[in-house]
Structure 1
Amino acid sequence: MAATNIRIPSRLLFIDGEWREPVKKNRLPIINPATEQVIGDIPGATAEDVNIAVEAARRALAGEWGSTTGAQRAKYLRSIAAKVKERKPELVPLEAIDSGKPLVEADADMDDVSSTIEYYAGLAEALDSRQKTPVPLHLESIKSCVLREPIGVVGLITPWNYPLLMAIWKVAPALAAGCAAILKPSELASITCLELGEICREVGLPPGALNILTGLGPEAGAPLATHRHVDKVSFTGSLATGVKIMTAAAQLVKPVTLELGGKSPIVIFEDVGDLDKAVEWTLFGCFWTNGQICSATSRLILQESIAAEFVNKLLAWTKNIKISDPLEEGCKLGPIVSQAQYEKVMKCISTAKSEGATILYGGKRPEHLQKGYYVEPTIITDVNTSMQIWKEEVFGPVLCIKTFKTEKEAIELANDTEYGLAAAVLSKDLERCERMAKAFQTGAVWVNCSQPCFWQPPWGGKKRSGFGRELGEWGLENYFNIKQITQYVSDEPWGWYKPPSK
């Protein structure tokens, strides 16, 4: 498949169920990271557009969308999922060309998009029977129940590594809960998120229920996060931006959900058994999505006794990874998303070298690719815990290695990070795996694997990886106001005060 055969749709902002030109008529270039060529443009929203979208969302809550039942919302969600499936052949290459991820990964992402929407349709449908859930009390004269109400207008700010999938992780539960949403995808990869607007228009989603604003963070994201009439913000992205959002939300006492990345460990013990299998999970855990994953297990912590043999196998497997244009058949590693991100990754590698680490493999542009933001899969050894490469998230295909002797030492190394999103442990000793899983200071643990992610379990971190949970039933709870209704049901007076004597 050639990039020249792919038509990039030209879209406006999606507000109040319609395509609308930005107030300031700004447009931003779409750059194909595989060729460095401009292949189209997207609208650039500003604070003026945010105001219009917030007003539309509030009208939706006060009108048709706000009066829907869970079953009605489920019907809309299933229609959206069906449209995603129908349009999958065009959405997959758009995702690949926009974000740089291999075509096979974009294909899998689209399946997850439709499945996640269908999952939340099921939860929306079940909501109707869960309303007025009784709360047992110790007094028979009083009955109490709980209502789950939509929290209101929500601002959803999403990253570029899984453009449509990360958007759906937020959009699907927000709509299922009955919120009105404003999605602000990353300006680096917005094409498929705009196509979601067209899908919503085609299925007749009530106007204002979902609004989509593309644009730069300072010009569109910041006004959305700080808007007085946005009731909650859910953000996935960098720690620095997350801190700004949390600071702004604190001024308004506004709830936030933050997923801010990680520096996740993968701990491999000498009793792992099949080294080739462990090597593949190591590669998948770090190099999937071109290494641009917040949960990437980019710190390999190896038991000393197997380190030499394991690293030799790791090198052989790494050299076999096909690096190419993401649209090429068999591609397993595409380009970094942008020039700025490419330069950041290369600087991290050069800093590791200057601090005394060894670039065992990779660390440069592949010789056969002279254009595009490509970085060879990189393996770094002779690492100590004071180095930047050990401490800071790279967000590129870079793996650093450190060895250990004892389980206690492995735990200390694994938890030696300010982040706490995910961790992996590989061992045949399942009791040891259980001990490690309890010891990891993270929100997610993989046992004898690394990186598989599903829509049913909760997702989120601790420490500087953020707080709150997405996906599963926990993701739906993010978008509710939990309201108690307590009723006095006795015919007898309360009896606290005495009536005046006659």
Structure 2
Amino acid sequence: MRFENENTLFRQQTSGNEEQFHSKYEYAMREISQISGRTSLNYIGGYWKRSRDGLFEDRFPGDLTVLNAKFQLSQETETRQAIGAAKKAFDIWRHLSFQDRCDIFDRAVSILSDRKYEMAAIVTMENGKNRYEAMADVDEAIDFMRYYSGQMKLNNGFYQEMPSPFPNEHPRNLLRPYGVWGVVSPFNFPAAIMIGMSTGAMITGNTVVLKPSSDAPWPAFVFADILAEAGMPSGVFNVVTGPGESVGSELVRNDEMAGFVFTGSKDVGVRAMRAFSAARPRPFVAEMGGKNAVIVTSNSDLEEAAVGAGRAAFGFGGQKCSACSRVLVEKGVYKDFLARIIDWTKELHVGDPRERRTFFGPLINEAALKKYRNGIRRARRDGKVLVGGKVISSEELNGYYVEPAIVTGLKPDHPLMRNELFVPILCVMTVPSLKRAIEIANQVEYGLTAGIMSREESEVEYFMDNIAAGTIYANRRAGASTAAMVGAQPFVGWKMSGTTCKAAGGEHYLQQFMREQSQTRCD
């Protein structure tokens, strides 16, 4: 059966029911505001448990007076308890048929689909996404669960009878789970990436200890509740909140861990990978960011190029690993393109993400605000800030709000042109040719996403054949380097953007969570 994406907003719009989308989201927002400030417990072995070391606060980054919840400030002890619970559950879970595991996830995805407006409202309160991006986050989580269940069924649980080389030999080939996997998820997709990575590990027969981002832990506990309702055996999925130095470090260094899957920064990912593989070879699946370029040629539709690059750069305030942070424009159309993207950017509404008109809301935390300030300072020193660059004061909005900024005049080797920023700063530079643009685009250590805006097919083909990135687009107005869809655009990074070059939301992703075994029985 053909896979279909959830696409909540698109379906409501095409059926003429967009107002229903808004009313359901706003109702869910009112409902979750009634439970703000509660205390959440760790989820270990099917039980809700406190840590010994107190709590930390999780606040709405769009209004710091709003306390979402208090979460457990866990340490190594709680993490080891969760690992023990997951190890105990593994022997039961791995012996379930793949059909039974898929049945649980099929029930879970149905429950999540029924609760998607609630989850979208929670995403907004956790990381400040507007309603459109928050629902897209939840839709992607739903898509991951459905797609991976479908892949297990399509591949017969990755079991295959093999041709026999001799009459008395009966070989078969299968993929089998490893054991307990650590999952560390980021703040920017607290539903989609958290659920996608966790589902990939569990549906293939492994058990999981999840450490969600301390900036956005709430969706992980909604997922735990959904899995329990769907019939997930105790101990298969465990959630422990707390600092990376304690919880994350224990997951990396504990000898009982069989595998690790991570989405986050390159620096953290590389350190974790080295530590995890120090004692013995163990699978480490990571996506570690990007420094993504969009190329605009003289054969492009400049209005389309400005919108596509702008959406990719400033959607969710640039806090996506797929965000465009460099636009390389052919000299002949540079001034025209620059004027168009500046005009487009000036019209964006930065504000409370709960409001319908908001394009993007706050940055996630004080550290992101500091990174924005430092980036703007360097841009003004070494180049020009043509628009934006202001931190919006707390008198106007009581959160981490900034203006989208467009910067010019920097050389290709400038730190702002080479290092991932994760804030809404877009660097635009002129290039003499498409060939030179691709050379500059490929100079960075990352290789996650890239885009080209050109109506000349030969230019698109040259770009596709020479760009060193895993997920690439041509003429994408909706986002020139962003918004891959599960099952259609598998999301994968090359070079320092990823460790395995196997794409999330693609047909090869699940194989990373299993090891191959060849079995032969002789008469």
TM-score range, shorter chain: over 0.9
What's 1:17 paired with?
46
d(CA) in 2 for partners of 1:106, 1:337 = 14
**Residue 286 of structure 2: SS of its match in structure 1?**
strand
| One-letter amino acid matched to 2:269 | G
The answer on 1:79 being equivalent to 2:113 is: no
Shift of 1:390: 0.5
| One-letter amino acid matched to 1:58 | K
What's 2:384 paired with?
358
Shift of 1:392: 0.8
Stretch moving more, 175-184 or 32-41: 32-41
The answer on 1:452 being equivalent to 2:480 is: no
Question: Aligned pair count?
Answer: 484
Equivalence map 1:212-227=2 (5 Å): 212-227=239-254
d(CA) in 1 for partners of 2:285, 2:161 = 25
Deviations 1:106-129 (A, max 9, x none): 012212212221112222333436
Match of 1:377 among 397, 404, 429: 404
d(CA) in 2 for partners of 1:90, 1:130 = 35
Distance verdict in 2 for CA 1:339–1:436, change over 3 Å = same
Q: Is the 8 A contact 1:381 1:401 kept in 2?
A: yes
What's 1:268 paired with?
296
Equivalence map 1:102-181=2 (5 Å): 102-128=130-156, 130-134=158-162, 136=163, 142-181=169-208
Distance verdict in 2 for CA 1:430–1:248, change over 3 Å = same
Shift of 1:374: 0.8
What's 1:495 paired with?
none
| One-letter amino acid matched to 1:467 | T
The answer on 1:308 being equivalent to 2:335 is: yes
The answer on 1:463 being equivalent to 2:495 is: yes
Identity of matched residues, %: 27
d(CA) in 2 for partners of 1:129, 1:149 = 9
| One-letter amino acid matched to 2:95 | S
Deviations 1:271-328 (A, max 9, x none): 01x3221111101111112210112121000111111111111111111111111101
What's 1:56 paired with?
85
What's 2:305 paired with?
278
Distance verdict in 2 for CA 1:413–1:137, change over 3 Å = farther
- Max radius of gyration: which structure? 1
The answer on 1:486 being equivalent to 2:515 is: no
Deviations 1:111-150 (A, max 9, x none): 221222111222233343641341x576666553211111
Deviations 1:384-435 (A, max 9, x none): 1232111111101110011111122111111121111111111112222121
The answer on 1:297 being equivalent to 2:306 is: no
Gaps of 5+ in 2: 1-25
Stretch moving more, 8-17 or 437-446: 8-17
Shift of 1:337: 0.3
Stretch moving more, 93-102 or 448-457: 448-457
**Residue 396 of structure 2: SS of its match in structure 1?**
coil
- TM-score calculated relative to the size of structure 2: 0.89
What's 1:476 paired with?
510
d(CA) in 1 for partners of 2:160, 2:413 = 54
d(CA) in 2 for partners of 1:467, 1:228 = 21
Distance verdict in 2 for CA 1:102–1:6, change over 3 Å = farther
What RMSD, in angstroms, separates the aligned Cα atoms of the two structures?
1.8
- TM-score calculated relative to the size of structure 1: 0.92
Q: Is the 8 A contact 2:116 2:138 kept in 1?
A: yes
What's 1:323 paired with?
350
Equivalence map 1:28-47=2 (5 Å): 28-37=56-65, 39=67, 40-47=69-76
Distance verdict in 2 for CA 1:182–1:377, change over 3 Å = same
Deviations 1:30-49 (A, max 9, x none): 12111123502111221111
Q: Is the 8 A contact 1:351 1:388 kept in 2?
A: no
Q: Is the 8 A contact 1:123 1:176 kept in 2?
A: no
| One-letter amino acid matched to 2:240 | L
Distance verdict in 2 for CA 1:130–1:161, change over 3 Å = closer
Q: Is the 8 A contact 1:13 1:214 kept in 2?
A: yes
| One-letter amino acid matched to 1:455 | V
Q: Is the 8 A contact 1:73 1:124 kept in 2?
A: no
Gaps of 5+ in 1: 490-502
Equivalence map 1:195-274=2 (5 Å): 195-252=222-279, 253-272=281-300, 274=301
